[in-house]
Amino acid sequence: MNSREITTQISEAADSLNLRKWDYGASFSNDYSVQVDKGEAKQLKASQKQILTIRVWNQSNLVGITTTSNISESGIKKALRQANIASDFGNKNESTEFSPLAKDPIKLKEVKKRSPVGIKKLLTLLREAEMKLIESHESIKSVPYNGLSESFFERVYANSDGAFRSFSKSQAALYLYARAEEKNNKPRSSGSVKLGYGVDDIDIESCIKEASNKTISHLNYSSIKTDKYLICFSPESFLTIINAFSSMFNARSILDGVSLSNKNSIGEQLSTKALNIYDDGLHEKNISSSPFDGEGTPTKRICLINRGRIENFIHSESTARIFKTIPTGHAGLGSKVSVSPDWIVVEKSEENIDLKTSLDHSTYEGEFVYIEELNAIHAGVRASQGSFSLPFDGWLYKNGKKISIESATVAGDIKYLLKNIVNIESSQEVTTSGISPHIWVDELSITGDA
């Protein structure tokens, strides 16, 4: 069945069950991936997947839901019946409706959908990449984690009110994670990830170069003394921390009492005035962009922090109704609708006079810790409390030298961090989760074992 046929099938089955109000989201995907081990194919994978999530509203306007991978006539009927049963337990405390924007026109950008290159080409390209990475430096002995994949998928949203949205696209990913070893030293690892609409869009050479340079740069390592340091966050690491605490801008989290913000936090000065943060799922550099969310609401750019103040929250249909605003295109589709950011854009605002612009990661000669990548986010972030304690990969810059830091953590409080930003560099870098410049923060605690 194609997506139109599924919609018809659901509509007819719903009629037969006397279900007048329903919506659904579906995804269909074909994925191909390869892994190699020292020039040999290790695992080659292909998968065909389909997932359908149906919501129904019962006569008391309570919502029930069911998810299934069985998109056949019998599977659809069973899903509707189960959703109807589940609706008896629908949330009586917070109602759910169709998004008022589910039928709004969407400005469809050029669809950058590529054709599959096939497993054999994926394998050839990854073998070559692995070999080049190993040959790039004598200390790089293996690439234990590697993969090249391409995915082709279609997403659909439709409802009984006549809304119907569908889009399809392709995406490819390459990751190379190398391991370097030198006599009498511990092994060191680092890597690189690149995304593209198709395999041919991925800059494989730059992925190899980045993985090699990062890995080699960690060979000269040392422990760091536990203390407070001036920190420079890489664009990737700063975006990681902002995403980890995105519940500050999330209306669902606010209503659930797990956010540091509350309903009245709009306008609160959260950081230095020099900081602007947007969520921009449709940004041209966002390979994973989607034109609509799980409820069919069009995706759009929204300002979260303007000159350091909270400007907007992100919403689903129900949170928007409670906050007396409109949905922002950040909803999932679930029994309880989740809300999450798409693609964060960090930039320097026009009110940046207080920044210490001499702090530039490529020229600054004083002592500082450069945090390249934060790890173990799921374990080290207490989003509802604002605290974090996270291991990281990075370097200590001291006396004109750069030394890789061996197993250390950075700890602090997100509000302290945002208020103690001392510089936002001008140049932004694109990462897989958004765009940000390098961000400098004063006086964060680092624990090492020196």
Partner 1 sequence: MLSSQIKSNEIVFGSCNKDLLEKIISYGIGLGADFIEIFIENTDNSSVLAEEDFITSVNPSFGRGAGIRIFKEKKDGFVSTNDLTKHGLMRSVSQAVEMLDITDNKKRDVFNGLNKHRDYSLSKKKWINEVPSIHEISEKLLVSTKSLKKNNKIITRKGSYSRNLQEVIIASSDGTYASDIRLHQTVGLNVIASDAQYRSSGSRRFGSSGMPNEFRLWDHEKAANDVFESSMNMLYADYVDAGQMPVVLANKFGGVIFHEACGHLLETTQIERGTTPFENKLNEKIAHESVTAIDEGISEGHFGSLSVDDEGMEPEKSVLIKDGILKKFISDRAGELRTGHKRTGSGRRQNYSFAAASRMRNTYIAKGEYSKEDLINSISDGLYCKSMGGGSVGATGQFNFAVEEGYLIKNGKLTNPVKGATLIGEAKEVMPKISMCGNDLELAPGFCGSISGSVNVTVGQPHIKVDSITVGGR
Annotate each residue in 342-371 with x if it binds partner 1 (CB under 8 A) or - if it does not, as one string.
Answer: ------------------------------
Taking the complex as a whole, how short is the minimal distance between the CB of residue 86 and partner 1, in angstroms?
5
Does residue 21 contact residue 144 with C-beta atoms inside 8 Å?
A: no
286 binds partner 1 (CB under 8 A): no
Please report where in the chains the tokens 């599977």 appear, as a residue.
75
- Tokens 């999330």 belong to 250
The verdict on 60 binding partner 1 (CB under 8 A) reads: no
Residues 410-449 that bind partner 1 (CB under 8 A): 411-412, 445, 447-449
C-beta closer to partner 1: residue 247 or 276 = 247
Using CB under 8 A, pick the residue from 304, 371, 408, 441 that binds partner 1.
Answer: 408
**Nearest Cα to Cα of residue 422 among 229, 230, 227:** 230
Q: Does residue 30 touch partner 1 according to CB under 8 A? A: yes
User: What is the C-alpha separation between 389 and 405, in angstroms, rounded?
Assistant: 16
Q: From the list 18, 69, 362, 363, which residue makes contact with partner 1 (rule: CB under 8 A)?
A: 69
Encoded tokens for 416? 């302290």
Cβ-based nearer residue to partner 1, 341 or 386: 386
Joined together, the tokens standing for residue 40 give 């040999």
Q: How many CA atoms lie less than 13 Å away from 79 in the CB half-sphere?
A: 28
Contact status: 8 vs partner 1 (CB under 8 A): no
Q: Report the chain's C-alpha Rg in angstroms.
A: 24
φ and ψ of 177, to 5 deg: -125, 105
Minimum distance of partner 1 from residue 125's CB (angstroms): 15
DSSP character string of 302-324: EEEEETTEE---B--HHHHHHTT
Give the footprint of partner 1 on residues 95-134 (CB under 8 A).
119-120
Q: Which of 139, 151, 312, 387 binds partner 1 (CB under 8 A)?
A: 387
Binders of partner 1 among residues 134 to 193 (CB under 8 A) are: 141-142, 144-145, 154, 177, 179, 186-189
Q: Is the Cβ of residue 92 or residue 107 nearer to partner 1 in the bound state?
A: 92
Q: Is 70 in the site for partner 1 (CB under 8 A)?
A: yes
Q: What contacts 137, CB < 8 A, 6 or more positions away?
A: 180, 212, 215, 216
Residue 215, phi then psi, degrees to nearest 5: -65, -45
Min dist. Cβ of residue 197 to partner 1 (A) = 18
User: By CB under 8 A, is residue 407 in contact with partner 1?
Assistant: yes
The answer to whether 394 contacts partner 1 (rule: CB under 8 A) is no
With CA atoms as reference, report the closest residue to 90 among 256, 259, 295, 337: 337
